[in-house]
């Protein structure tokens, strides 16, 4: 099945389950390759300093197995930068989350952190690694992201997902403006956080030039009910524009 927008499956929750018991069940490497075999067009991991889910050695072990697109996201600490440069994924997504947060909960201030982001992005580009910056649906932050030299921005979609059931027309408006702002200045657009089977299609239908969505928690949770292969196909079906 072809879609204009790639589905990248974040497999952190698989590692969380494995780490809760120890050992290698479920097998993170097998799940990643199964996701690809079932139709996913990318694999995302987010290693954190405490390795509470994906571990650094998982990232190294995954790299030679991934045949689609490998996206590593995280805060660009020295250790994270070294890992990315060693592994050389297709894409690195820069997220401004401190070590103690449960999950990513904010986008970059691309004005305040412009110099830092420029330096980090330059390092990744020197190795041919595409970069994406995790940002709020704020046209100002997106326009300043251009000056940082990034290839893409990833729209942080938590507010859209939170407000979707009560008023989806209002919930989508800031994201339409933000995505159009990115598109107009030549940045490609990714999106992620709390996207699911209920709200994904509506989001994509209003932002048809999305390049990639990264989905983990909801997809892995749905797989408990529907099975992994069926769930991936269900998500891919949401990424089809109506004829």
Return the active site residues.
Answer: 46, 73, 193
C-alpha–C-alpha distance, residues 229 and 112, integer Å: 43
Q: Is the dihedral of CA 209, 114, 104, 172 positive or negative?
A: negative
Tokens of 103: 């999950």
Tokens of 66: 């991934």
Q: What is the dihedral of CA 25, 233, 41, 198, to 10 degrees?
A: -90
Q: Which helix (H) or strand (E) holds 6?
A: strand 6-10
- Angle made by CA atoms 124, 129, 135, in degrees to the nearest 5: 75
């Amino acid at each position: 099945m072809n879609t204009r927008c790639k589905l990248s499956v974040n497999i952190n929750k698989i590692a969380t389950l494995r780490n809760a018991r120890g050992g290698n069940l479920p097998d993170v490497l097998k799940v990643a390759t199964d996701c690809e075999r079932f139709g996913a067009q990318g694999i995302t991991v987010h290693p954190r300093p405490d390795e509470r889910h994906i571990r650094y050695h998982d990232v190294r072990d995954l790299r030679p197995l991934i045949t689609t697109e490998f996206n590593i996201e995280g805060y660009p600490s020295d250790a994270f930068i070294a890992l990315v440069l060693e592994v050389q994924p297709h894409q690195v997504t820069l997220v401004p989350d401190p070590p103690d947060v449960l999950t990513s909960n904010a986008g970059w201030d691309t004005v305040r952190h412009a110099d830092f982001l420029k330096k980090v992005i330059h390092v990744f580009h020197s190795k041919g690694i595409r970069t994406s910056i995790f940002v709020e649906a704020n046209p100002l932050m997106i326009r300043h992201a251009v000056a940082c030299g990034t290839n893409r921005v990833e729209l942080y979609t938590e507010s859209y997902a939170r407000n979707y059931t009560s008023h989806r027309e209002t919930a989508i408006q800031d994201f339409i403006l933000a995505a159009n702002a990115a598109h107009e200045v030549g940045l490609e657009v990714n999106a992620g956080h709390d996207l699911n089977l209920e709200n994904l299609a509506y989001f994509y239908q209003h932002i048809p030039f999305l390049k990639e969505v990264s989905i983990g928690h909801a997809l892995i949770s749905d797989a408990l009910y529907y099975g992994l292969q069926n769930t991936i196909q269900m998500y891919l079906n949401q990424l089809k524009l109506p004829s």
